[in-house]
Structure 1
């Protein structure tokens, strides 16, 4: 072991064997990431919990008694934070988490293993919530191909789909938060969000890795469902 620039002990991952370089770099980053270590100590399922924590500390989105939807929720870091901050475990709010993958139980969180792109998903979700949502959040990322243009189109498509889903289930005054990359949400999506919400901005929490291009788009003050 050696110390990094902050004085913390750094774990060195030895190369060799059949481990690919990309796998070695990922493991090295995980083992030496202070947020990963802190998540284990705090009992959170992922370091992403701190991203939502920092965003909410700054913008005060999550409030007691809210109805929250977590898209692409597994393993559940964001759902844990939301449930804690709205009082869901005490019955003062409700979090509905959706993912194609299975997710272990979290106090105060109702999980549905389904595809949010399914046409029936909004109705199923409203039934689970007992009405509309106050906040729809998404930390989803599209699978990458390594081809920059293709990957960007996939990312944009996923965020646009999440925004459309939010527009179908949010109550007036609600909020939407989603992961984007590189330059943020594209012009067409930003124009759509600005039409549907009172305020739209890009945010990058400190818990996002410095070498990552990830950012989040936050839209607040939903104006209400459109009649197209």
Structure 2
């Protein structure tokens, strides 16, 4: 969504159907950049895998790979999906953990998903947090965010805008997660900035960065994984010994 739309990420290139690389001819009304995007999609193994396995986007595999490493989906009971459209991440949650309650939000419409409450509104709206909690019906123990600001082509600006979304998502998590909960959010090259890291280190037992294999090697995106929410009533304001290493896998 604008200020929260999932961007497709993944491995670059890959073999085409039958191991052959498919080339796309440039149509008169199609720009060179659009032709390159289409060619990349046709030759992307994650795109073909998503189509074969019924996921709405290849981004689903980013969450699957993060969960394989950090194990946070299966034990979740109540999940908030920020920037849900087109729904791939919530599909993963429902498949791995069908008993979990799920509520998602996006400025862009999202086709209905069984077992998922979907709000079509801007997460930056002041009314959004309460609306999400009402839709979920309980406090979440997992908040996942694949939100990214619409890019403008300037790396530093794009990074700052996406970090702003991640900070808002982190604030929501800190205000609403149950003790022991987990927060996952997209950031860009350079990782979470110091202010965001300080907030996460202060409120979570461990904080790590990871770039899942499904995220294209040329993409600047990373994910920050904060686990072991300390709770809002323990009075702990120390930063702890959070691990912030990068894992490029």
TM-score using structure 1 length: 0.91
1:90-123: per-residue Cα shift (whole Å, max 9, x none)? xx22011111111111122111112222222222
Q: Distance in 2 between matches of 1:78 and 1:72?
A: 10
Partner of residue 15 from structure 1, selected from 21, 26, 48: 26
Q: Which residue of 2 aligns with 1:225?
A: 232
Q: 1:40 to 1:5 in 2, by over 3 A?
A: closer
Q: Distance in 2 between matches of 1:7 and 1:18?
A: 29
Q: Contact 1:122 / 1:168 at 8 angstroms: preserved in 2?
A: no
Partner of residue 74 from structure 2, selected from 63, 70, 94: 63
4+ runs of 1 displaced by more than 6 Å?
none
**1:83 maps to 2:90:** no
- Residue 157 of structure 1: CA displacement? 0.8
Partner of residue 173 from structure 1, selected from 162, 172, 180: 180
Q: Which residue of 2 aligns with 1:51?
A: 62
Any gaps of 5 or more consecutive residues in structure 1? none
Partner of residue 42 from structure 1, selected from 39, 46, 53: 53
Partner of residue 164 from structure 2, selected from 152, 157, 161: 157
Q: Which residue of 1 aligns with 2:137?
A: 130
Q: Distance in 1 between matches of 2:133 and 2:162?
A: 26
Equivalenced residues, count: 222
Q: Contact 2:184 / 2:223 at 8 angstroms: preserved in 1?
A: yes
More strand by share: 1
Q: Distance in 1 between matches of 2:134 and 2:27?
A: 52
CA RMSD across the alignment = 2.1
- Residue 65 of structure 1: CA displacement? 5.8
**1:193 maps to 2:173:** no
Q: 1:122 to 1:25 in 2, by over 3 A?
A: same
Q: 1:78 to 1:119 in 2, by over 3 A?
A: same
Q: Distance in 2 between matches of 1:117 and 1:5?
A: 40
- Residue 149 of structure 1: CA displacement? 2.2
Q: Contact 2:83 / 2:104 at 8 angstroms: preserved in 1?
A: yes
| Greater RCO structure (CA 8 Å; 6+ sep) | 2
